[in-house]
């Protein structure tokens, strides 16, 4: 998604966006950060900080925090919410031009901030993150999982098949319910009437990070509760939860 879309969501952020930082979401980010040795001597950047939900936690656990976003309206709200904190530096900047800030950071966190549909721009974002980290620097990223969407489609199909006991009819109904035509599974892009969002396969993230000079790439899942936590997807209470990919990596 681009700047104008994020500006539009700023005022009603939590009504518009399903956040991996909201309550009832199982997110390993916080416990992993608390395990980092000497973290209060480190400088971190929250790229795509949005309205600054993560900033209070980061400011308490790191020496200095750069809060970076290209949405002027998002950044304004983030500043207002963290106006009394003295170790946060706010920067209005595009992640795809992050190196221009010349920060050389110990750590970068990206929470669902690389969502633009362009292949070229996604590659550039990973390159810019790598170029802004010191050698041995830590990257933590959360990304919408394409596999999670396919998992939901499978659950829908199984439910519809149990109703009609006809494979062709169940498949037709599943495509309609799941809005199949809005998904480009090759590019991992969801197109909702022109508003496009990038989703990621696990193998894709691994390849992109290796290409951007990262090593020790490890994956976990951010788990969302059924119901409002999963947005517009069909709910399947009692089944394993849908997820975002949570990845950590080290700059070579």
Q: What is the pLDDT of residue 228?
A: 72
Full DSSP string of 195-209: EEEE-B-HHHHHHHH
User: Which sign, positive or negative, has the C-alpha torsion 46, 231, 181, 201?
Assistant: positive
pLDDT of residue 14: 46
pTM summary value: 0.91
Residues 178-187 pLDDT 10s? 999 999 999 9
Q: What is the mean pLDDT of each run of 10 residues along the chain (252 residues)?
A: 49 58 93 96 96 95 96 92 93 95 96 93 97 98 97 97 98 96 96 92 98 98 87 90 97 97
Q: Give the pairing of strands 88-92 and 64-69.
A: parallel
Q: How far apart are CA 133 and CA 144, in angstroms?
A: 23
All domains in the chain, ordered by first residue: 3-145+197-251 (3.40.50.150)
Q: What is the pLDDT of residues 31-81, one digit of tens each?
A: 999 999 999 999 999 999 999 999 999 999 999 999 999 999 989 999 999
| Phi, psi dihedrals of residue 246, rounded to the nearest 5° | -115, 120
**E-assigned strand segments in 145-213:** 183-184, 189-192, 195-198
Q: DSSP H helical segments within 10-118, as ranges?
A: 13-16, 29-34, 55-61, 72-81
Instruction: Please report the pLDDT score of residue 229 as a whole number.
Output: 66
Give residue 29's pLDDT.
97
Q: Which two tokens stand for residue 112?
A: 């669902």
């Amino acid at each position: 998604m681009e700047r104008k879309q994020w500006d539009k969501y700023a005022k009603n952020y939590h009504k518009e966006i399903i956040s991996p930082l909201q309550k009832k979401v199982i997110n390993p980010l916080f416990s992993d950060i608390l395990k980092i040795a000497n973290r209060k001597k480190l400088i971190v950047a929250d790229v795509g900080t949005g309205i600054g939900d993560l900033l209070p936690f980061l400011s308490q656990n790191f020496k200095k925090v750069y809060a970076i976003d290209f949405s002027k309206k998002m950044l304004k709200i983030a500043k207002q919410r963290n106006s009394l904190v003295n170790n946060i530096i706010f920067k209005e900047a595009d992640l795809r031009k992050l190196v221009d800030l010349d920060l050389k950071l110990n750590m970068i966190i990206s929470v669902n901030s690389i969502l633009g549909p362009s292949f070229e721009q996604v590659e550039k974002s990973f390159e810019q993150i790598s170029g802004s980290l010191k050698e041995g620097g830590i990257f933590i990223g959360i990304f919408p999982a394409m596999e999670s969407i396919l998992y939901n489609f499978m659950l829908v199909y199984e439910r519809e098949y149990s109703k009609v006991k006809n494979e062709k009819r169940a498949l037709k109904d599943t495509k309609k319910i799941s809005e199949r035509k809005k998904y480009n599974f090759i590019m991992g892009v969801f197109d909702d009437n022109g508003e496009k969002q990038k989703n990621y396969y696990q193998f894709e993230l691994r390849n992109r990070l290796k290409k951007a000079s990262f090593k020790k790439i490890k994956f976990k899942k951010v788990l969302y509760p059924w119901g409002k936590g999963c947005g517009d997807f069909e709910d399947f209470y009692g089944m394993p939860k849908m997820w975002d990919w949570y990845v950590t990596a080290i700059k070579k």
